[in-house]
A and B are shown apart, each in its own frame.
Chain A
Amino acid sequence: MVIAQCQKCKREPSTVVSRKETFCKSCFLKFVKGKQRKQMKDGRFKVKYGRNEDQTTEKTVSAILAFRFDGSSLVLLDILISWLEEQLAMSPRAHVGFNLTVLCYSLEQPQSWIAEKATQIKTKYHGEEGISRLHVKFEILDCNDEVKRNEGLSGIYLTDHFESLIDRSNKVKGDALKMIDTQIQDKSAQEDLKSVVERDVIVRHCLQLECSILLLPDCMSELAISVLAFTARGRGERISETLGDNYIDVDGNRLEVLYPLRDILKSEIESYLKICDLERFQAPKIDNTFKSVKNKTVNELVREYFESVEPEYPEVISTVVKAGSKLRIPFSEGDVKRCGICREIINDDPQNWLESITVNEGIPAKTEEEKRNYELYLSSIQRPEERELYTAGNKESISLCFGCVADLRNLRGKFSWPAD
């Protein structure tokens, strides 16, 4: 068997094939790192020079890495740490170009698992001493705790006419993440609402730490999945926010969001993990092999779709990401309204949109039998728990975006959520 040569250095035997090119280990790592550097080529992240650190402190920006223990997070952390090491090694007067806070969290794993893995990762990078020399800090985030810190959960209702109401008078204490599982049956809606919690917790934490740059580890394949998943969930306007504009505005604060791995494919992430022996730090993956289509979520279906078309149409992933980055946020007229659940800007009123395309009036009873059936129905809805759904009571109106209405559309009853 002939072992192909690396097409970059033309010396070493190749170990990785990516984008129809053969790479040896070191050339492949250099190739991946080059893609990350391109996304962070801004002068703010470059090495700082000075006699001592105090001279550079003011100029050094702080960035937060959302670290969710998946392959992309591990690769991005490894690349950033090696970049900081390179910066320090450039000259005796060289100092790191940026301070990095690694925000460790997981929506699936217990806090003990997160703490243990974070310690193992720190050990790999020469322990506390090694990482603090590079101005890297690890922080462990409990998403549940962050949500619980809110004043409590309010009941949100969606009527048959897509009117959204909130009952703020009876706030209850509870675990919002667990509540999602118990209240929402639809797995795709669960997945969507959990991602809302995840994003909200991270963004608020960044603002708490007065950090203005958020590094998200999503690679090109993951971004392409997000584009199609947002589209399928009725959250088309989120595409431009994720890929086009690079900024998130929250309560008058602006947070810059960067995707340093946006040019890297999932297969390249996997090769990197293997080469650098990082797989052992990953959170366990859910095996979908024997799941029926009906039991899958929107994200899982889109992921499988890309995996199935990629061999025949390799350009499709980059095409989707490029198309997404050409979009802009549609302008909303008048005062900006924000969704009471995900806090996204509402561009059009979902109630109006859905009402205009859905008729909810049937044909009235005509025969005696039909009239009798209708009487029976009327008497059945007099039970108190059902009446509560149809009467306004202490409820007031709340604005929801189309994506959140779509998630709650099949919900009968109240949805407890930490709404403002």
Chain B
Amino acid sequence: MPSAVKINALCELCHCRKAVMRRPKNLQKLCKECFIHVFETEIHRTIQREHLFYRGESVAIGASGGKDSTVLAAVMKTLNERYDYGLHLILLSIDEGIVGYRDDSLATVKRNQSQYEMPLEIVSYKQLYDWTMDEIVACSGIKSSCTYCGVLRRQALDRGALKLEVHHVITGHNADDMAETVLLNILRGDTARIEQSVNITTNSQGSPVKRSKPFKYAYEKEIVLYAHYRKLDYFSTECTYAPEAFRGTARTLLKNLELVRPSCILDIIHSGEQLKLKHKRRNASSEMEVRSNGSVSLPNKDGNRCERCGYLSTNRICKACILLEGLEINRAKVQIDGTSVDGAAKLTKTLEHLAF
């Protein structure tokens, strides 16, 4: 006969199975079955409430092979079948060209492709920009690597989606990422972004690709637990190029706050939804903003196109083209034969395989 379970050891939702974890979001003690159920149902409710998709829509899942995008692919496949969304799901990966890191994570995405039976498209920085991240870091240093990567990846995802004739990309940004963005926008005084910090969907006027974040309210820890309980296959190494230093301080603060007040991630998102800017007095249509770098913002902020690449931009030349121009100026004119621009990831991987 099975041993009797103590009442206070039971799951706080079903009250019939033994609790195996404390839910990071609200500290509820839950059994594995209830946790998986509430996690998936909450994502489903978010999708329904925000009307993220329409029947028959083709949706690209931004897949890096990491925990967030792997769980996103798994959950989307489950929900699409369970609730009959009628979506056509495609995996879209970006190969930034970080030898020893991205090649490994792309191998995970390729395994996910067969596990979830979804088509996969890989777009590389090399194809699009003629630069890899390893080359960019070798040229401009490690400190600004996230600036380059962030700007280029955003464009690459859009271009990849258009190549597939898909107009909706979903990404694995979770509640922790949202909360971190709210804190960062306040700390940087970025009033242009403060109101949009927690938007679940971003769709600039004139942009052919919409982006959504179905994990807006899902805690990072819960995503990891979900991947663990469902035994999902994901790549868990952090990018070897150091994260931006200031963002790192905000992340540490958020983790400390979460330790003393687990609800703080949702609390910050709620605060983010309440942040509204005072109305500007100046007449935006008759004025042009000259930025500190000399670039001029165009009067109609949405829907403008870059003169060089045709990508959506608030300036005449988009940020990616400005960054690439700077890189081209500094590109080595002569390459010594046999030298490699592979970055720290490759070196780490080589060292890992050394043995006495």
Contact = CB atoms under 8 A, between A and B. Distances in A.
A359 B222 CA distance: 14
Contacts of A403: 267
B13 A362 contact: yes
B5 to A, nearest CB: 6
A239 interface: yes
Given A293-B256, A293-B260, A309-B249, A232 B268 contact: yes
B107 interface: no
Interface string A99-135: 0000000000000000000000000000000000000
Contacts of A328: 276-279
Contacts of A361: 13, 38, 41
A196 B263 CA distance: 20
A369 interface: yes
Contacts of A313: 246
B246 to A, nearest CB: 7
B27 A410 contact: yes
A231 B271 contact: yes
B257 interface: yes
Interface stretch (A71-79, A147-155, A201-209, A297-305): A297-305
Contacts, number: 176
Interface in A223-250: 227-228, 230-237, 239-240, 244
Nearest to B252: A305
A359 B42 contact: yes
Interface residues of A, number: 67
Interface in B235-263: 246, 249, 252-253, 256-257, 259-261, 263
Given A319-B187, A323-B189, A363-B33, A358 B271 contact: no
Given A234-B270, A320-B189, A361-B13, A301 B253 contact: yes
A363 B37 contact: yes
A409 interface: yes
B163 interface: no
Q: Could you tell me the dominant secondary structure of chain B's interface residues?
A: helix
A138 to B, nearest CB: 37
B274 A347 contact: yes
B164 interface: no
A362 to B, nearest CB: 3
B257 A356 contact: no
Interface stretch (B14-22, B130-138, B139-147, B301-309): B14-22
A409 B274 contact: no
A378 B276 CA distance: 47
Nearest to B4: A376
A308 B49 CA distance: 41
Contacts of A347: 274
Nearest to A376: B7
B260 A409 contact: no
B275 to A, nearest CB: 5
B273 A360 contact: no
27 contacts: A228-B253, A232-B257, A233-B261, A233-B264, A233-B271, A236-B271, A239-B275, A301-B257, A301-B260, A305-B249, A320-B189, A323-B189, A324-B186, A326-B191, A330-B276, A348-B273, A353-B270, A356-B45, A357-B217, A358-B42, A359-B42, A361-B41, A362-B34, A365-B16, A373-B16, A377-B16, A380-B7
Given A240-B276, A305-B253, A308-B249, 15 more contacts: A228-B186, A232-B261, A232-B264, A296-B260, A301-B253, A319-B189, A322-B189, A324-B186, A347-B274, A357-B45, A357-B217, A363-B14, A374-B15, A377-B15, A402-B270
Interface of B: 2, 4-5, 7, 10-11, 13-17, 25-27, 30-31, 33-34, 37-38, 41-42, 45-46, 49, 182-183, 185-191, 194, 217, 246, 249, 252-253, 256-257, 259-261, 263-264, 266-268, 270-279
